[in-house]
Amino acid sequence: MPLSLRMTVAALYIAFGISLGSAATPAAPANSAGAAGDAAWLQTKGTLLFHDAFEREETGNGAKAIGNGWNSATADRVPQIKMADLDAGILKISSATKEAGHAAHIHHEAGFTDGGAVIRFKFPGLTKGESLQLGFVDRETKDIHAGHLCYALLSSSSVTLIDHKTGVMNLEIRQRRQAYLDRKEKVPADLEALLKTKQVTVPWKADTAWHELVLVTEGDQMRLSVDGQPVAHHRSPGFAHPMKRWFSFLVPSTVWIDDVKIWKVK
């Protein structure tokens, strides 16, 4: 990866307030998933709102070129560059992060309080330091920057779950924090301590195989599992936001996606 892109990836982490330093080993989650896991929880308790297997071709490079209700917040910034390629029944995302000035942001309507998304994903190994951010957005709630509610971030060595709604994307907090960032000053200890409660980071090793990922929210808890194994869970008030309006991917470099399912439990 060119230095400029690597710096952009680092900037993305900073912009989203994700600290890569902290690692915690989660205790066994107390939740509704049980031994069968969250995929089973969604299937037995939930309603399938959306499924896409991407067995088609895209129509150009525009915001709606993926079809089936997908929208890209970044495609029209760089109409000459293909960032989403439907190929062999797979959504292949290759972000023009530098040219667009933003990681590729692709989203679809969701619409639940409790529920989640199941996807198959693969880091194709086309760029160094591939990562994937996915989560939920509600642009109709106005005191959150760009409606960012909560996300999971998979990097090469860790998984982070983060509440943005009551954390770094809360407008009041964001404004206070930004003033320190602009002056390149240390964020005050009380703010740092508050933001630390909004996220958890656990060690995780990325590879280039296909995996099934399940990301759910239930009440104030968010949980992520990969191939049926719980990886991370966290509790924070923002996870309980009543309307996960969009399901979003933010991809700074390259990721392949297939079989996206969105489930509503409540």
Residues forming the site for Ca ion (CB under 5 A)? 53-54, 89, 258
Q: How far is the CB of 142 from Ca ion (least distance, A)?
A: 37
Residue whose C-beta lies closest to Ca ion? 89
φ/ψ (deg, to 5) at 179: -60, -40
Q: Report the residue number, 41 or 54, with the smaller CB distance to Ca ion.
A: 54
Q: What is the CA radius of gyration of the chain?
A: 17
Q: How far is the CB of 56 from Ca ion (least distance, A)?
A: 9
Q: How far is the CB of 3 from Ca ion (least distance, A)?
A: 35
Q: Report the residue number, 52 or 130, with the smaller CB distance to Ca ion.
A: 52
Spatial separation of the C-alpha atoms in residues 188 and 197, rounded to whole Å = 15
Q: Report the residue number, 51 or 266, with the smaller CB distance to Ca ion.
A: 51
CA angle 218, 223, 224 (to 5 degrees): 145
Let me know: does 216 contact 38? Beta carbons within 8 Å.
Answer: yes
Q: How far is the CB of 66 from Ca ion (least distance, A)?
A: 13
CA angle 200, 227, 264 (to 5 degrees): 75
**What's 6's DSSP letter?**
H
DSSP assignment of 186-237 equals PPPHHHHHHHHTTEEEEE----SS-EEEEEEEETTEEEEEETTEEEEEEE-G
Q: How far is the CB of 102 from Ca ion (least distance, A)?
A: 27
Q: Report the residue number, 53 or 226, with the smaller CB distance to Ca ion.
A: 53
Q: Report the residue number, 53 or 187, with the smaller CB distance to Ca ion.
A: 53
